[in-house]
Chains A and B, each alone.
Chain A
Amino acid sequence: MVNLGEVEIRGIDLSVQTAWQWHSDWLVSTRLSYTYQKAQDFTNPTDEFYGGQIPYIPWHSGSAVINLNYRNWEANYSFIYTGERYSSQANLPVNYQLPWYTSDFSVARTINLFSSELKLTLEVNNLFNQQYEVVICYPMPGINFKAVAQYIF
């Protein structure tokens, strides 16, 4: 990693959150967010790469989460998107990083146990098995599964 002397970041953060209640049993809540960032390195005006987008900051990124609740059941789908980036402030084709996006899906059931709650969740992450790296040369997991038991007391 490298420390940069002076940078300027301009952008927009947007997010929308909604919830719908249908009868008394169904609850759908969603959250959408989007960020635009123009993050530039202004350390050295004589540098050939002055003004380049700083390493690993995407111009566009966002996420979408949908949550569905029915009595003791819960289903969740979340989508994360990171747009194209460069791994160096030298924004050259050799440093270009493809956009990546993952879909995670989970189903959970809450059970009342001894006057407290036990929540069992089954997750499928990176549903479409996308091969990606957040930092170059460190591959991220492909499709993976998790079973979670959570007891709150």
Chain B
Amino acid sequence: MKKLFQTLLAVLLCMFHFACRHDIPFVYSEEEIVSEPGTGGEPVIPGVDGKPTTGFFLLNEGNMGSNKCTLDFFDRSTGTYHRNIYAERNPGVVKELGDVGNDIGIYGSKLYAVINCSHFVEVMDVHTARHLGSIDITNCRYIVFNNGKAYVSSYAGPVQIDPNARPGKVVEIDTLTLSVTREVVVGYQPEEMVIKGNKLYVANSGGYRFPNYDRTISVIDLENFQVCNTIDVAINLHRMELDRYGRIYVSSRGDYYDVAADVYVIDTNTDKVIGNLELAASEMYLCGDSLYVTSVEWSYITESNTISYALYDVKRQEIVSRNFITDGTEKEIKIPYGIAVDPYTREIYVADATDYVTPGYLYCFTPDGKKKWKVRTGDIPAHFAFTTKTFY
């Protein structure tokens, strides 16, 4: 009996030793040299900012519920792509960046990342990506800046479809103190914003209230921070771009059944809808007078995505091309999820989300649409912020 217990005890001790559990391994950033070191270029719009871009930050959203929002940086001066830099530079931040990074922007010397499903805006130093502070905003979506303030749109409710979901809000933050100064209630599930003069325009999607989507753009007077106008456009509004002629391009995602996606044009001098482009858009990026558009349009009727690319000239007011990628690389791209154009070199960046659960890819194209390089990113690469500051 004694021998039996001794044997069993020995087996148990062996198991404990064998099954030793280490600390969670540290996830380091990775570096990949993707191109020749880059020099400056000529600005597309002369005089804007006055400094050439030194690179860009890419925010990977991460699949919802996985806490895998990550930050990458492309350093143009060395041609190096740095993947997943946040954890390494901020080892003291619990749970790293958070769940679902939805927008990123640079203002002054700070880098702001809107972490949608973790309900805060992460504020970092633009030179080092080190944590400076954070602002708690429920279900925050997009960010814009003006005159020392940051404006964040928020669904102001839990992350779930709800036909009785409450209206959203726009929150004003002081960029020096990182505190909320004013808030205003807008339409349902507000998305992207643009600022013209002292007016802020926000696209209301009403996405949680399916099938009763919101159809409006709320116009906020930045003086008294009240809604001064509401413009009826189309259902399920999402993205906005403002051209230098005072026109806003706002995308409508349709209803995924019979109502197709389209892009509507609003004149900010009259706050009226002046037309539509007959272009489906999931992503838009305005560089100079060129509006680059990618679309992944889902249809429940065909149970498939329709992927398209387009280039629209805002000055001539016509679609210039149905494919700004000219060497066939678009056949490799599974789900174009993010697009950006370097305001100095006009190089085009397209992010591919692939299957949303494994790492995506970033493609760099020359201004005339030929592939320059491709690099692996984090999960669901999506949002870009070009920087003119040095990164170290």
Residue B359 lies at the interface, judged by CB distance under 8 Å to chain A: yes
Give chain A interface residues in 44-80, CB to chain B under 8 Å: 47-49, 64, 66, 79
Contact B21 A93 (CB under 8 A): no
CB-defined contacts of B355 to chain A, threshold 8 Å: 2
Give chain A interface residues in 66-99, CB to chain B under 8 Å: 66, 79, 81, 87-90, 92-94, 96, 98-99
A83, chain B: closest CB distance, angstroms: 8
Q: A2-B357, A101-B19 are in contact. Are A48 and B27 (CB under 8 A)?
A: no
Contact A96 B25 (CB under 8 A): yes
Residue B66 lies at the interface, judged by CB distance under 8 Å to chain A: yes
Contact A66 B8 (CB under 8 A): yes
A70, chain B: closest CB distance, angstroms: 12
Contact B358 A90 (CB under 8 A): yes
Q: A26 CA to B84 CA in the complex, in Å?
A: 58
Contact A88 B358 (CB under 8 A): yes
Residue B67 lies at the interface, judged by CB distance under 8 Å to chain A: yes
Contact B19 A81 (CB under 8 A): yes
CB-defined contacts of A101 to chain B, threshold 8 Å: 19, 21
Q: A20-B4, A88-B358 are in contact. Are A64 and B66 (CB under 8 A)?
A: no
State which size class the interface on B falls in: 20 to 34
Q: A2-B357, A28-B4, A89-B358 are in contact. Are A98 and B11 (CB under 8 A)?
A: no
Contact A79 B358 (CB under 8 A): no
Residue B68 lies at the interface, judged by CB distance under 8 Å to chain A: yes
The A/B interface has a contact count, at CB < 8 Å, of: 50
Residue A9 lies at the interface, judged by CB distance under 8 Å to chain B: no
Q: A66 CA to B15 CA in the complex, in Å?
A: 14
Contact B1 A92 (CB under 8 A): no
- Point out the residue from A20, A22, A87, A99 that lies within 8 Å of B19, measured CB to CB: A99
Contact B15 A64 (CB under 8 A): yes
Contact A98 B21 (CB under 8 A): yes
Q: A35 CA to B359 CA in the complex, in Å?
A: 29
- Point out the residue from A20, A64, A137 that lies within 8 Å of B11, measured CB to CB: A64
CB-defined contacts of A47 to chain B, threshold 8 Å: 358
Q: A102 CA to B223 CA in the complex, in Å?
A: 60
Contact A98 B67 (CB under 8 A): no
Encode contact with B along A15-47: 1 for CB under 8 Å, 0 otherwise.
000001010001010100000000000000001
State which size class the interface on A falls in: 20 to 34
Contact B15 A99 (CB under 8 A): no
Q: A117 CA to B26 CA in the complex, in Å?
A: 53
Instruction: Point out which of B12, B22, B27, B357 has the most chain A C-beta atoms below 10 A from its C-beta.
Output: B357
- Point out the residue from B4, B12, B27, B65 that lies within 8 Å of A94, measured CB to CB: B27
Residue B76 lies at the interface, judged by CB distance under 8 Å to chain A: no
- Point out the residue from B19, B67, B84, B378 that lies within 8 Å of A137, measured CB to CB: B67
Q: A30-B8, A48-B376, A64-B11 are in contact. Are A90 and B19 (CB under 8 A)?
A: no
CB-defined contacts of A92 to chain B, threshold 8 Å: 359
CB-defined contacts of B15 to chain A, threshold 8 Å: 64, 79, 81
CB-defined contacts of A87 to chain B, threshold 8 Å: 66
CB-defined contacts of A48 to chain B, threshold 8 Å: 359, 376
Chain A: which residue is nearest B99 at the CB level?
A137
Q: A66-B8, A93-B27 are in contact. List 8 more A-B contacts (CB 8 A).
A: A22-B1, A47-B358, A48-B359, A48-B376, A81-B15, A90-B359, A94-B27, A101-B19
- Name A's B-contacting residues (CB within 8 A): 2, 20, 22, 26, 28, 30, 47-49, 64, 66, 79, 81, 87-90, 92-94, 96, 98-101, 130, 136-137
- Name B's A-contacting residues (CB within 8 A): 1, 4, 8, 11-12, 15, 19, 21-22, 24-25, 27-28, 65-68, 70, 84, 99, 355, 357-359, 376, 378
Q: List 20 A-B contacts (CB under 8 A).
A: A2-B355, A20-B4, A26-B1, A49-B358, A66-B8, A79-B15, A88-B357, A88-B358, A89-B358, A90-B359, A93-B27, A94-B27, A94-B70, A94-B378, A96-B25, A98-B21, A101-B19, A136-B66, A137-B65, A137-B99
